[in-house]
Structures are given as structure tokens and as C-alpha cells.
Structure 1
Amino acid sequence: MAHYAIQQDVRDTASSSRTYTRHDDRGESHNRLFRDYFAEESKFNETFFRQWFRMSRWGFSALQRCTSAVRKLGYGSNPDSLDDYLNMSERSSRDTLNAFCVGVVKLYRHEYLRRPTRTDTQRILDHRASYHGFPGMLGSLDCTHWAWDNCPVAWRGQYTRGDHHKPTISLEAVASQDYGTAPLVHCTVNGIEYQYPYYLVDEIYPRYAMFVKTISHPTGEKRIRYAKTQEAARKDVE
């Protein structure tokens, strides 16, 4: 069949080179390729197409690609976890995820993946003050532990804590916006006037001016009430 296809292609090329222009040759080549491999009653099957062109005749559909990408992003699945169901190899799955993320960035970067303006920041401050009762609060910071199933044996002791029985990687939400460009906030707490916004954090964070920490062991009605309110407001980050 391969010998026949080569001879047929040579005869078609020789006969068309004398009667068609270059544009017509391209159109006829397209029609011939479609008739031989992609028509409903094609001349050659997919096995011959793979042997001749060293690739699959049909690629993955958009539904297959999006399902694979969203599954990995949502559940942290391995690249080859959907091999049996979607017939997608590890390399194809990884390339699909990269292409999906690039597409999301291109589509939403001007609206959602940009630095916040003063208007955006002020809207956040107003919402936090009215909803949580913390004037000048931009938000909350916290960290979570992502299970590392394939952690090398020699590293497991470095990535295992007492409250987690297997290796984990700590993922933390951090503030990347320059505090100097944030709008001024005029609020007075305990007789002290503050002019810059802040984030609510727990006791593991350092003593920085932009971090307002909770009280580990509050004593007295006032401290207990503050700790309870602060911890309740921080649940939004979870």
C-alpha cells in the first residue's frame, strides 16, 4: 500500500504540474489528502496514516483538553492520571495544562491579573470595614499544607510535621502589592492614628506594621472579644 501511494502521488504530481498553476496544485493536494485519509469512506485507514506520517490522524477535542486541565488544577492530579479514561499520555496532558493556563492568562489578564488601582483598593477597604468591622483591613493571610505523595524518601523528614502524618508542602497567600501605593487610611485605635491598611494574620507571622495578629491566650473580656472577632474575620481566607 505504501508503494502504491508513493507511485500514485508521483503520477498525480507529474500530471498536475503541466496543467495547473501553483495555487491549483495546493487545492488539489488538499482535496487528495482529504479523500485519502479524512473522508467518511477514505482510501486508507488511520493505521496507515500513523505509519506514513508518524502521528495520529485525529487530535484531542477541546472537551478532552479542558477536562484534563481543570482536573489537574482542581485536584492536583498527576499528568497521567486520566490516561485510561481520556487516552491522553503524560506529555500530552502536561502540554494541555500549559496551553490552558496560557489561554486563561491571555483572556483575563487585563481584567483580573493586573495590579489593583486605588479605586479597587478603596472598595476592598470599605467592604472590610462594613462587613467585618475592621477599618483599614485589606484582607487576611494564611497558609495551607498540600500533601506531597511523591516526596523522595530521603526528604520526608524535612517536610513532615507532627500534626501531619505525611510529607506536605506549605502554600501561603502573600501580599505582593506595594504598600506605599495603597490609599491612606485614617483610623484611630486605642488613641493611636493609623494611616496605612493592614492584613489579619495568626501568631506564626512576624511582628510587622502591616500585620494585625490575634491573641494566642486572651485574658479578660476585651481581649477575648477581640480574639474571637479577629479569628472570625480571618475565616474568609480559608
Structure 2
Amino acid sequence: MAIVGAHTLSFQEFHACGALTFSTEKDSIASRRWLADMANAFRTSFCTEDSKVRFASCLLKDMAQDWWEEVAREVGDDVVDAMMWEITAKFWERALLVMHYAKDEEIKKMLNRNREEGHEHLYRDYFADNYVYGSKDFKRIFRLSRDVFLQIANPLKSRYEIFQLRYDARGRRGFTTLHKCVAAIRLMAMGESPETMDDYMIMSERTARESLYTLSRGVVETFGDVYLRKPSLHDLQELYVAHEERHGFLGMIGSIDCTHWKWKNCPHAFFGVAGSNNDVNVLDQSPIFDDLFNGKASDAPFTVNGNEYKYGYYLTDGIYPQYSTFVKVSRHPVEERDKVFKRRQEGAREDVERAFGVLRAK
């Protein structure tokens, strides 16, 4: 009961103020509406805080009632009595929505995910001595080598608690470092939604999303000083060698392309500047060539046919301006030599085109 002034509010009186029962047979919109109705009933009846959760739980029916009784048994009556309605309502909103879309057995699976089984399955497939999928398969699936993955995962484990193996209040083991990092990399590499992680990874959408966010932030914070910086002379020389061996272009730093798009899985995300977002306008807003234009760029010389050049260059398509650091091709070459160069140049630019293709698909 709840005390209003000198009067003790009974559940029957509270129910008479418009508080309705809730069944999981109702749709998802009804779940939110019921919680809103409960808030109104609390205000109308002047229900005290210590009675709100108890009164609301009495209105749950069918699977919702079974679920809450199981939760109450797990945490104990004292914990339930101490629960604040504002926090409990948010917890209920998620759970009731899930129950609308799931059968009873699926709910039990959600509440009791076998994390150990998920880790063992993952470890057996990719990391055990007698693994199912080798290093080539790992790189094909996750878009990076297994060695690089481990070099990322191990420092993140040391730095962030979310990637450390923990146990909950009931002694149940949480997700391992491998489990969470693989889930995050899989979301990025394959463009999947966090909701799909429950099938193979046996991981909830929320945990997968948190892992992805923390890994993305952690890579910048952990490796930014080494890898997310301007290239040194040594770095540029290594790029020269790599592109010469792979593409046959001396002095090539890489390919460059600028674009603007809406992220399919996040339509309100925006990359670029407002207004007309063609390649040239996006390039004008980029700081990538500021040092070169301001005369602050370090020399990175290379030699072609006996001629020495101070700076490397990027391969681009025909829309870009006539900068000395851009190497373009003729749109309609006539000479056979120009035709061969066009094919080689466009072939070498496929890496950046593939990168944008992956990003647009996410």
C-alpha cells in the first residue's frame, strides 16, 4: 500500500485510477503506451515511489508476469522493493518489446545466453591449434590478418574494462576479449547490423554495439600517435617501394578520391560539407594538402628516367584540378601508349574505389 496524506493507497484504488493490465500479446506500440499510462496513473493516484514497481508488476499478465517473477526470484524481494520506477520502466520497456517478438523458449535463450559456448565455438573456428578456418579465411572474412587483429585486441584488453573478462553478481562469466573484438570487427568488415550477432556470436545487440563503439574509439586512442599521423620521409619511401612493386608507378603515394554520401544504415549521418558536395568541393575543404600549398611539406624525392622530383603524387580521375601532385589520364586517349597508361592507372586506382564501395554499403 501507499500512503496519501493520512490515507493508505491500496492496489484496488490505484487500479481504479486507470491503471490497465499488460499482456505480451499486445503490439510494441502498446508496450510504450502502457508505460506512459502507468506514469499517468501514478500521478493521478499520488502513488508513492516505494509502491510504484510493486503495483505495476501486479498488472503484468501471461509471459510478462512469468518473466518478472523469474527476475524477482533471481534478485530477491528486497532488491525489487528498492527499485526506482524511472529506472525500472526503462528496463521493462526493452524487455517487453523483446517479449512481443519472441516465443517463450527464445526469451529463455536471450536471458541465459551461453557465452562460454559462443567463445569456444569462435576459438575453435579461428584461433585453436587445429582451427577450422585458416589465416587466409580469417583475412577474407574480417578484412585483416589474424596477427593484426591480435595486435589490436591485446592492447585494448589492457586499456579498456569492457574488453576484459568479467563476472556478474551471480558469478556468470561475461564475454571474452576475443568474443567482443571479433564481433566489432565483423560489424565493420561485413557491414552487418548489431542485431545479427545473436546467431553466431551469441551476443545481444547492445553488447555488440558497445563493443563496436569502444573498439573504434580505442583504436584511435591507442594507435593514433603511431598510425593516424602525417607520414614521415621513411613512410613515404616505403610507400614508393610498395606501389612500384605492385603497380609499377614510381613515386606514387596512393590513390585519392573525394565523395559525399548518406550512410545507408545511418541515414542522418553526414560526411563532408554543406551545399554542393562534388569531388572538388570536398577536396577544397580537406586539409590534406595544406602543408604542400603553404610550403611546409617535407621533401620526399624520387627519380624517374633520370629526373628527380621533390614530392610524390596521387592517382586521380579527370575531375580533379591540374595540381602537380595529381596524376590523371586522358578521357579519350588516342596513342597506344596513352591507352596502356590509362588502363594501368585505372587498375591501380581500384583500391580506393573498393574502399568507397564498402563504406557506401554500410
TM-score range, shorter chain: 0.5 to 0.7
- TM-score scaled by structure 2? 0.38
Aligned residue type for 2:299: P
Aligned partner of 1:48 in structure 2 is: 74
Using the alignment, how far apart are the partners of 1:76 and 1:214 within structure 2? 33
Residue correspondence of structure 1 range 60-209 to structure 2 within 5 A: 60-62=174-176, 63-83=178-198, 86-90=202-206, 92-142=207-257, 148=264, 151=267, 176=288, 178-179=291-292, 180-185=296-301, 187=303, 194-209=309-324
Are 1:226 and 2:338 matched, yes or no? no
Contact 2:250 2:304 in 1 (8 A): no
Q: Which sections of structure 1, spanning at least 5 residues, go unmatched?
A: 1-44, 153-173
Using the alignment, how far apart are the partners of 1:96 and 1:209 within structure 2? 43
Aligned residue type for 1:49: V
Contact 2:314 2:327 in 1 (8 A): yes
Secondary structure of residue in 1 paired with 2:344? helix
Using the alignment, how far apart are the partners of 2:223 and 2:337 within structure 1? 45
- C-alpha offsets along residues 170-202 of structure 1, whole Å, 9 cap, x if unaligned? xxxx8837444242425468x987432110112
Comparing both structures, which one devotes a greater share of its residues to helix?
2
Q: Which sections of structure 2, spanning at least 5 residues, go unmatched?
A: 1-70, 84-90, 92-167, 269-285, 355-362
Aligned residue type for 2:75: F
Using the alignment, how far apart are the partners of 2:255 and 2:263 within structure 1? 23
Highest RCO, 1 vs 2 (Cα 8 Å, sep ≥ 6): 1
Using the alignment, how far apart are the partners of 2:230 and 2:257 within structure 1? 21
How has the CA–CA distance of structure 1 residues 75 and 50 changed in structure 2, closer, same or farther, with 3 Å as cutoff? farther
Contact 1:72 1:79 in 2 (8 A): yes
Using the alignment, how far apart are the partners of 2:246 and 2:74 within structure 1? 66
Using the alignment, how far apart are the partners of 2:263 and 2:221 within structure 1? 30
- C-alpha offsets along residues 69-125 of structure 1, whole Å, 9 cap, x if unaligned? 1222112223333356635143x3322222222333344334433332111112222
Identity %: 32
- TM-score scaled by structure 1? 0.55
Secondary structure of residue in 2 paired with 1:80? helix
Query: How many residue pairs were aligned?
Result: 172
How has the CA–CA distance of structure 1 residues 193 and 110 changed in structure 2, closer, same or farther, with 3 Å as cutoff? closer
Aligned residue type for 2:335: G
Aligned-residue RMSD, C-alpha: 4.0
Give the C-alpha shift of residue 214 in structure 1: 1.9
How has the CA–CA distance of structure 1 residues 47 and 111 changed in structure 2, closer, same or farther, with 3 Å as cutoff? farther
Of the structure 1 ranges 46-55 and 116-125, higher mean CA displacement relative to structure 2 is found in 46-55
Give the C-alpha shift of residue 212 in structure 1: 0.8
Using the alignment, how far apart are the partners of 1:216 and 1:110 within structure 2? 40
